Structure 1
Amino acid sequence: MNGTESLRTQNLSQILTTVHRNGPLSRSELTRRSGFNRSTVGALVSALAEKHLVHETEPAGDGRVGRPSPIVQANPGVAVIAVNPDIDALTVGVVGLGGKVHARVRRETRSVPSLDDAVRLTDDIVADLHPVLAGLNQVLGVGIALPGLVNAGAGRVLIAPHLGWRDADLTGPFGSALGLPAVAANDASLGSLAETIFGAAIGVDHAVYLNGSASGIGGGIVTGGAQLVGSRGYGGELGHTLVRAGGSACHCGRSGCLDAEVRLERLLEAAGLSGGGIEALEGVLSDDPAQAVRDEAERQLELLAVALVNFVNIFDPELIVLGGFLGSLFGFHGAQLTEAVNRGSLAGGVQVRRAALGPELLLVGAAELAFQPLLASPS
């Protein structure tokens, strides 16, 4: 690629990424944000439209004099398949440009799925989603959000302890089964990415994100507007912060970790439930829960606050975002949790919010990973 082609690719990437992450924008607004002149923006938008990556529409009349600036929108018909395996279920979604979730299917499993089980079940769900997929312009690839340590560059899982997957090719089997290129990363890191782009942490340069699923608790850290990933890409294992000395045994070999003490199944068991996941917990906590559920929720909130105080003192975030069942706990007693965090931390003044993307969070994050090659090089 020569210098002119490289520059054009960068410019196309900038325009497509802007409308993908910010929603429909007028050409005049794209001109302002990009710093390009109007004719350059017009040429870039036309090139993206020819590739069916964006759509242009006329704006509603606003009473202004002169020709209104067309509205440019990322084409949600260009999509990827997003997959989130967990110990109790597998969730598959179809996500289009702009973060549009066309479909989401959650299938509970009778036991913890093996990697082969997860691939087969994903293939079955995707076959059921054929009517949705048939209505799209293009399906680009597969993004996998996995609760475990993932070498994203190699497409391998180092260890997903609750699933029992160790040192295995992750993207290869999914890609082969679906006939699409596949990419993968840690689920909580992808959740952090999704909330930063589309959710509760938009425009926030310093944030800590925690996700709670049936597999446990993972995290993501944004500092200076960039994700902290660590030397090998395994940064953000915030679930293994000590919150209770001599507490419950953790799969990491220690005891009293946040991941071992704050658990979805403990809350469901307190409610007399053996399944149903986060959706079931949400119903329990929002419907005047029984005393046993209240006691367990308050116990977990107290220990969660211990961890969050540590994170505030270490990373100095302006915002903490809680996803998965931790978001449900925040919905139960969010003000109490926020007060405890700010009272216990040295600096205080930290906002705590529930993740905005709800049950679609990890799918949107996985999709964002799969969209990266297109966004980087639309040509």
Structure 2
Amino acid sequence: MAVRGNNLDTVRRHNLSTVVGLVHRSGGLSRSRLTALTGLNRSTVAALVAELVELGLAVEELPEGTRTVGRPSPLVRPHKDAVAFAVNPEVDAITVGVVGLDAVVRSHVRREVDAAPTPEEAVRITAGLVSELRSELPDRAVILGLGAAVPGLVRSSDGCVRLAPHLGWEDVPFSAMLAEATLLPCWVGNDASLGAVAERNFGAGDGVSDLVYLNGGASGIGGGMIVGGELLGGVGGFAGEFGHTRVAGAAVPGATLEDEVNRARLLDVLNVPAVDSDQLEQAVLSALDDDAVAEIDRQVDMLSTALRNTINILNPALVVLGGFLGALYDARTDEMTRLVGLQTLGPAFEDVAIARAALGDEILLIGAAELVFGSVLDDPARIVNAVPQHPVE
């Protein structure tokens, strides 16, 4: 769908935002394609691209293998050295990464912790890892800020973590704390909602306007919803807590989805001591022990019931499963599809597809970085010029 620009000089920033947004989400477009999509004239697009190149947000290059007659239209790509830091604090580890404007995770560090970190510990560890990763960036790097994907209820207006039950956090001004510690502009959001944005922009949901993303991790199950192409956040930004819905057939009355579909239970029954996601997935896929098979089947049944309810209520075109939920889906694809179809209304089931998250373990880092890039896309020149590029002392 075309994104219309405007030729008036008074809306240059709007046009700059339009162009960098198209380049970021596509991974690169020819200048002629940008002209067609924005409705701007060629000289205006050329000037806007030149400004993005000057800001360090884009690069221009000739397409490879061009054999057409005449001068080919240059390709405009997001600059890989325009980066955001991304952090995902969890109950067992804090992961910090560097993500380029091209949505590629350049590097990351996972620091394991013995117990759920306090907000102060999470900020201290994050600041240390940011400093470490920052020292490895080239001098030409343009650092745009830091985004955090937190497993909890995050107030969208100010990045305050109102409640992260598994971390034990309540009313934590996490965005402000990170900004003070790193001297970077910081944004904070719910991890699963950011995962939904990442999959919508760069993963399995590319081109899909209505999808539901469910993430299974150490802190339980969270969800994010894209409706009409926009993230559905609710009045405070707290929407999508699928893991806290009750499920029928649980051994304990009142148990929630994340009580029953649970990574710790899988690790225990599969005798997998490590928390490496690849190791857990291989154990799920190769399980032969009767108890392990029974537990996998039970969790698949519970998850399928939740998916039926989700599809009946929201009528998405796509349901994306991330984290250990993706491993369950791969292990029982046909059975899960059958179970979901049993009680889903026919027309809704005909409209929906179920898929595993395409971005793998990097999904939450990419989603956290999108918090930063989203602000840059709104006003590239203002944000870039406002962010200090010198190392944190």
Classify the TM-score, shorter chain. Answer: over 0.9
The residue number in structure 1 matching 2:356 is 354
Matches within 5 A, 1:7-156: 7-134=11-138, 137-156=141-160
User: Counterpart of 1:209 in 2: which secondary structure?
Assistant: strand
Gaps of 5+ in 1: 250-254
1:239 paired with 2:243, answer yes
Q: 1:32 to 1:4 in 2, by over 3 A?
A: closer
Answer yes or no: is the 8 Å Cα contact 2:250–2:260 preserved in 1.
no
- Farther off after superposition, 191-200 or 110-119: 110-119
1:367 paired with 2:382, answer no
Answer yes or no: is the 8 Å Cα contact 1:245–1:256 preserved in 2.
no
Q: 1:136 to 1:368 in 2, by over 3 A?
A: farther
**Residue 182 of structure 1: CA displacement?**
0.9
User: Counterpart of 1:133 in 2: which secondary structure?
Assistant: coil
The residue number in structure 1 matching 2:3 is none
Supply the AA of the counterpart residue of 2:93: A
Supply the AA of the counterpart residue of 1:26: S
Answer yes or no: is the 8 Å Cα contact 1:81–1:95 preserved in 2.
yes
Q: Please, what TM-score do these two structures have when normalized by structure 2? A: 0.90
Supply the AA of the counterpart residue of 1:311: T
Answer yes or no: is the 8 Å Cα contact 2:304–2:339 preserved in 1.
yes
The residue number in structure 1 matching 2:317 is 318
User: Counterpart of 1:173 in 2: which secondary structure?
Assistant: helix
Q: 1:248 to 1:87 in 2, by over 3 A?
A: farther
**Cα deviations across residues 53-77 of structure 1 (Å, max 9, x unaligned)?**
1000011233211111101001110
Answer yes or no: is the 8 Å Cα contact 1:152–1:183 preserved in 2.
no
Q: 1:90 to 1:354 in 2, by over 3 A?
A: same
**Cα deviations across residues 180-222 of structure 1 (Å, max 9, x unaligned)?**
1111010000000100001101111111110111001111111
- CA–CA separation in structure 2 for the residues paired with 1:328 and 1:146: 22
The residue number in structure 1 matching 2:387 is none
1:178 paired with 2:177, answer no
Answer yes or no: is the 8 Å Cα contact 1:145–1:363 preserved in 2.
yes
Supply the AA of the counterpart residue of 1:281: L
**Residue 241 of structure 1: CA displacement?**
2.2
1:378 paired with 2:356, answer no
- CA–CA separation in structure 1 for the residues paired with 2:288 and 2:11: 58
The count of residues paired between Structure 1 and Structure 2 equals 372
Which one of 159, 163, 166 corresponds to residue 162 of structure 1?
A: 166
The residue number in structure 2 matching 1:309 is 308
The residue number in structure 2 matching 1:252 is none
Q: 1:53 to 1:288 in 2, by over 3 A?
A: same
Runs of 4+ more than 3 Å apart: 3-6, 245-249, 286-291
1:225 paired with 2:229, answer yes
Q: Please, what TM-score do these two structures have when normalized by structure 1? A: 0.94
- Farther off after superposition, 101-110 or 298-307: 101-110
Q: 1:196 to 1:6 in 2, by over 3 A?
A: farther
**Residue 144 of structure 1: CA displacement?**
0.5
The residue number in structure 1 matching 2:255 is 256
RMSD of the TM alignment (CA)? 1.7
- CA–CA separation in structure 2 for the residues paired with 1:123 and 1:107: 12
- CA–CA separation in structure 1 for the residues paired with 2:148 and 2:287: 36
**Residue 130 of structure 1: CA displacement?**
3.8
% identical aligned pairs = 44
**Residue 364 of structure 1: CA displacement?**
0.4
User: Counterpart of 2:60 in 1: which secondary structure?
Assistant: strand
